[in-house]
Structure 1
Amino acid sequence: MSIKSDKLEGQKSSGGNVVSKKLIPYGGYYTSKVPGHDPELTETGPGTPMGEYMRAFWHPVCMSIELTDTPRFLKILGEELVAFRDGSGCIGVLHAHCVHRGASLEYGAIQERGIKCCYHGMVFDVDGSCLHVPFPKGEEKEAEKYACSIQQGAYKAVERNGLVFAYMGPPEEEPPFPEWEGDYTVLPGDELVPYSNFQHCNWLQVQDNAADNYHPTALHAGKNVVNGHYQGTTFDEVGAASMEVAPDMHFVPVQQGRSLACAGARRVDGDRLFVRVQHQVLPNLSLHAYTSEDGSKKKLFSRFHIVRWTVPVDDENSKMIGWRVMGPGIDTRGVGKKELVGYESIDFLEGQVAMRRPERFGDYKIEDLPPIPPNHREREHYKAAQYAPGDYEAIISQRPIAVHALENPTKFDAGLFQFRKMLRDAVRGTNPAASARSFADWFRENAGAPNSYCSGNVFDIPEGETVEEEVARRRKVTKQIVAILTESEQYKGAQRAAFVREKFETLEQSMKA
């Protein structure tokens, strides 16, 4: 054994388990070797275990506004694609390279029906069938025969509320499109506003962040911004001060291990307890309760504020793409800005996205920085990110693909590690309920609209008289909330909401006794 590996081994018990590790000051030499990434969970190309699992689900691939009078080149799950809307209004998602000679259809001409390759004029319909072959006059039969012999790779696509979704799995195994409670969770006057944000890293570390309910305590805390150099849409307004309180977390696999309920209890003040339940659904969906809750008023069973998929582009890039629910029903503080939600833009924390804009840095001024050479605007953005990093910086800086073998998790990381385990169980088949086929059957049983555990709640529950009593109180509440939501699975829509709110009221009263 080399000196280097011996230093890292630590002290072992007779059973072979590491029970302690020698910590060496200035010992970077002994930890400088970087192991490989975890291919089972991070690689999503064709034929990979995770890639094949993901292809069994519907995924958003772009925003509707990206479909213009020219084709939109995309890369999804490592595949080069083009998306377009033809003259008849049908949406096509095709393999980018023409099946004839490989020219990219991103340079094709959109037709009344289908798309025409720029190189030789082959025309393909949205299902991949060849509609036209430009053989010379008099060779129509040969052209027809050739057209019937080729087919462009194509995926079925649907459009919902400004997003384009594609199913990239075997066509004979297409699952129902998941509506997730349909329109019930969007109150009158509210709307689903689409957005898409590119992330320059592997999909899993972006998805991990959604299950990491602890990071706002540090990353989104105004007190941690260097010398008060705030970003545009500010810290301390994302959930106000209540989001800076370290939450007491309770993570529970639910719906037969198909999803994870992440319940976090934060003390607003001596009289109110804020409990936010995030819902993580295999393989890459997350449903988020109100992001700007200040806990000033009692609130029971508030629903979706963000519905988001983390879609792999390739193994080192991904997209956060989904909807922000906007309007007075969900945004009770009225802090949302619809005009900032869209393509490469979001209305909370500039650091959620890659494209920071200096004009939206609030009180921070470019002249406050050291001198910057001409044509070095990128340094302005980088310096601002160093002053006030957001999710984007924290996530992509974990390397293009995060190395799990180097992590040293704490108890508050339990959610993301639980979700990773659920992914492995699904991919390996050790949880049959989470298989793609079982998922599809479950969607059908729920008419394509299963219930979500996502909810935001502010209870009038007083603080415990001692630290021990307060900890026990918070943990009892979070466990009971998840149990009530599980019990409510037997109901739908308004009936379910009434059941949950009644049970939550009873829970609140029991904690005051």
Structure 2
Amino acid sequence: MTEKKLIPYGGYYTNRIPDHDPELTEVGPGTPMGEYMRRFWHPVCMAAELTDTPRFLKIMGEELVAFRDKSGQIGLLHAHCAHRGASLEYGAIQEKGIMCCYHGMVFDVDGTCLHVPYPKGEEAEGEKYACSIRQGAYKAFERHGLIFAYMGPPDAEPPFPEWEENFTVMPGDELVAFSNFQHCNWLQVQDNAADNFHPTALHAAKNVVGGNYQGTTFDEVGAASMEVAPDMQFIPVHNGRSLACAGARRASKDNLFIRVQHQVLPNLSLHAYTSEDGAQQKFFSRFHIVRWTVPVDDQNSKMIGWRVMGPGIDTRAVGNKEMVGYETIDFLEGQVAMRRPERFGQYKLDDLPPIPSDHRARHNYKECQQAPGDYEAIISQRPIAVHALENPTKFDAGLYMFRKMLRDALRGSNPAATPEGFAQWLKDCGGAPNSYCSGNVLAIPESEDLAQEVARRRHATREIVRILTSADNLKGSEREAFVKQSMQELQQSLSAVAAES
């Protein structure tokens, strides 16, 4: 390995780009990560994308066609017809299944060939031929506006993970589906979710050039507390199947804002309230974003999931349901490629302009330079980020820990995180595991002594994760009551210590 030369104007010594990390980034059939991911359920598109014509998709490098037949069944088939390879994206949706445009073969949602158009009098031969072929198919179903699919071996299908029983935790919660394309490898998008330090720069209003705001900063939604540098603790939980990313920020001299983001192998992240101002005391606020990072291929991916809407989570009523959907989001418009000055809600799905293939060709490229968001920062790391060129700091620990957890799962060095270990865990917990995701504002006064302040906030953060772990065998209202009571006791004890000092 060539020794690094740290000299002025030394670009010559750093102009050779190493290869990317294939073990974690490549997702095609037969690759380590591709085979691992295929053993989990993933959302592949929004239900709104299934219209009167089939929807062409690429997921983990596979060309697919999704559709809803006229009986209401969801189909997810290999795109190319098993007969002569014409794409079923041009097929006609039937009462049952889909008909290929080229020769009229009809395939059911499970891949069964239902009809072969042989000449009159030769139907028996057609039926015999139909029994000899089968279109590649994956099991799929709809849930709250998303289409989920399992693309692994049928005999190894795991339970669908109903986090917190149904992904909602309060009466009135509404799961609003969204899907945002990302022109880069899936892992750097997932890395960003574990990078809890980047809002202090990327989403800080003070860093916008010339006041050209583009809906990319937390200051614009009145949540400047999210721009404060957090003191992070990254703690593997669920026997190494997931990671609690717990950060403490000072919302004010009187309030400590502790946000726990939950990263779950391989590609799920659950986010607490993103518009928290930290002004009001709060215990165990829950999901605000539920998001999967789904690989399209090795150089493209999409963030697809739900925004949780309702007064229980959006206590400041700043969410906008009309801006949540296909290639749109209300949580910082800089998350997406297709920022536009118009209001997104006026578009119908089929009227949306195409997603730009070159991010520098966008009509608002200069505005994106003045006020970049997650999309710009993530895709500009190259189509596949080169890990060998990174020079990490302490606050990058979460994403490096998550990468290690992925490797341990792929290599079988953590049996609990293998597909078999995951499936058994889901069966043992009734298919409804608990999440560590929570937003908490504790009334703990700031210490005038910096060392005491640092020690106090780190203690509070670790204690919150410990409380959540202690409650992991409880469910629903019983768990909520235990956690809230424990957090109140933690607040009282730390406030008493602060008063004594």
Aligned equivalent of 1:112: 95
Question: Do 2:75 and 2:110's aligned partners in 1 also have CA atoms closer than 8 Å?
Answer: yes
Question: Do 2:283 and 2:440's aligned partners in 1 also have CA atoms closer than 8 Å?
Answer: yes
Q: Is residue 2:3 matched to residue 1:9?
A: yes
Q: Which residues of 2 match residues 31-430 of structure 1 at below 5 A?
A: 31-183=14-166, 185-232=168-215, 235-238=218-221, 240-359=223-342, 378=361, 380-430=363-413
d(CA) in 1 for partners of 2:31 and 2:363? 40
Name stretches of at least 5 consecutive residues in structure 1 with no aligned partner: 11-21, 362-376
Distance 1:118 1:347, change over 3 A: same
Return the letter of the residue paired with 2:306.
W
Q: Is residue 2:432 matched to residue 1:449?
A: yes
Cα deviations by residue, 1:331-371 (Å, 9 ceiling, x for unpaired): 0011000000000000022210000113469xxxxxxxxxx
d(CA) in 1 for partners of 2:470 and 2:172? 30
d(CA) in 2 for partners of 1:184 and 1:491? 16
Q: Is residue 2:493 matched to residue 1:499?
A: no
Aligned equivalent of 2:441: 458
Tell me by how many angstroms 1:190 deviates. Answer: 2.3
Cα deviations by residue, 1:163-215 (Å, 9 ceiling, x for unpaired): 00000000011011111012373422220000000000000000000000000
Question: Do 2:195 and 2:398's aligned partners in 1 also have CA atoms closer than 8 Å?
Answer: yes
How many corresponding residue pairs? Answer: 481
Aligned equivalent of 1:15: none
Tell me by how many angstroms 1:445 deviates. Answer: 1.0
d(CA) in 2 for partners of 1:494 and 1:173? 33
Query: Could you tell which deviates more after superposition, 34-43 or 463-472?
Result: 463-472
Question: Do 2:247 and 2:461's aligned partners in 1 also have CA atoms closer than 8 Å?
Answer: yes
Aligned equivalent of 2:494: 511
Return the letter of the residue paired with 1:94.
L
Return the letter of the residue paired with 1:302.
S
Aligned equivalent of 2:6: 23
Aligned equivalent of 2:352: none
Question: Do 1:237 and 1:292's aligned partners in 2 also have CA atoms closer than 8 Å?
Answer: no
d(CA) in 2 for partners of 1:417 and 1:305? 24
Query: Residue 194 of structure 1: SS of its match in structure 2?
Result: strand
Question: Do 1:238 and 1:291's aligned partners in 2 also have CA atoms closer than 8 Å?
Answer: no
Question: Do 1:184 and 1:493's aligned partners in 2 also have CA atoms closer than 8 Å?
Answer: no
d(CA) in 2 for partners of 1:104 and 1:184? 35
Query: Residue 422 of structure 1: SS of its match in structure 2?
Result: helix
d(CA) in 1 for partners of 2:242 and 2:423? 14
Question: Do 1:358 and 1:380's aligned partners in 2 also have CA atoms closer than 8 Å?
Answer: no
Tell me by how many angstroms 1:239 deviates. Answer: 6.2
Aligned equivalent of 1:373: none
Aligned equivalent of 1:367: none
Distance 1:77 1:379, change over 3 A: closer
Query: Residue 113 of structure 1: SS of its match in structure 2?
Result: coil
Return the letter of the residue paired with 2:3.
E
d(CA) in 2 for partners of 1:380 and 1:125? 42
d(CA) in 2 for partners of 1:458 and 1:237? 21
d(CA) in 2 for partners of 1:312 and 1:103? 24
Distance 1:82 1:503, change over 3 A: same
Q: Which residues of 2 match residues 478-497 of structure 1 at below 5 A?
A: 478-497=461-480
Question: Do 1:297 and 1:458's aligned partners in 2 also have CA atoms closer than 8 Å?
Answer: yes
- Among 423, 431, 442, the residue aligned to 1:440: 423
Tell me by how many angstroms 1:23 deviates. Answer: 1.6
Query: Residue 265 of structure 1: SS of its match in structure 2?
Result: strand
Question: Do 1:84 and 1:91's aligned partners in 2 also have CA atoms closer than 8 Å?
Answer: yes
The runs of at least 4 aligned residues of structure 1 exceeding 4 Å deviation read 377-380
d(CA) in 1 for partners of 2:158 and 2:485? 35
Question: Do 2:91 and 2:101's aligned partners in 1 also have CA atoms closer than 8 Å?
Answer: yes
d(CA) in 2 for partners of 1:477 and 1:468? 14
**How much is the aligned-residue C-alpha RMSD, in angstroms?**
1.4
Question: Do 2:176 and 2:307's aligned partners in 1 also have CA atoms closer than 8 Å?
Answer: yes
Question: Do 2:25 and 2:185's aligned partners in 1 also have CA atoms closer than 8 Å?
Answer: yes
Query: Residue 462 of structure 2: SS of its match in structure 1?
Result: helix
d(CA) in 2 for partners of 1:27 and 1:90? 60
Tell me by how many angstroms 1:379 deviates. Answer: 5.7
Aligned equivalent of 2:348: none
Question: Do 2:221 and 2:318's aligned partners in 1 also have CA atoms closer than 8 Å?
Answer: no
Question: Do 2:40 and 2:152's aligned partners in 1 also have CA atoms closer than 8 Å?
Answer: yes
Name stretches of at least 5 consecutive residues in structure 2 with no aligned partner: 345-359, 497-501
Tell me by how many angstroms 1:232 deviates. Answer: 3.8
TM-score normalised by the chain length of structure 1: 0.92
